[in-house]
Amino acid sequence: METKITSIDRNVVEELNRDSFATDGAVFLGTGIAPIGKYKGFIVGENGVTISAITYLYPEKYSGDAATFPWMSGAFYPIEFSTLTTSAGNLMLIKK
């Protein structure tokens, strides 16, 4: 069965742009505590990152220990959170 898309609602296009291009803004974080807010993910800087604490917006979606996970440099992680603390490295936090 073939599906043909004939139109896309403008709201969908705007949301895709927000997710793809961080049009709601970003916060650059070195070692320390991120400003409290709503974030939809982060990009790890070139030296990697060590996350010592994170508060998820939807904790039921996540399991495991963020402090021991091997975060890869340059990777985007679509994790929704409200605050985050790093003890090494840097991040670009994508605002929600």
Whether residue 15 is contained in a domain is answered as: no
Q: Which amino acid appears at position 31 of this protein?
A: T
Give the pLDDT confidence score for residue 56 in this predicted structure: 95
Torsional sign, CA 2, 5, 11, 13: positive
Whether residue 35 is contained in a domain is answered as: yes
The average confidence (pLDDT) of the chain is 88
Q: Distance between CA 25 and CA 69 in Å, rounded?
A: 26
pLDDT value at 15 more than 70: no
Contact 27, 82 (CB under 8 A): no
Whether residue 1 is contained in a domain is answered as: no
The residue segments making up the domain with residue 65 are: 26-95
Q: How many domains does the chain have?
A: 1
Greatest alpha-carbon pair distance for the chain in Å reads: 52
Whether residue 37 is contained in a domain is answered as: yes
Whole-prediction pTM value?
0.77
Q: Distance between CA 54 and CA 52 in Å, rounded?
A: 7
DSSP per-residue codes, 68-92: TS-PPTT-EE---EEEEEEEEEEEE
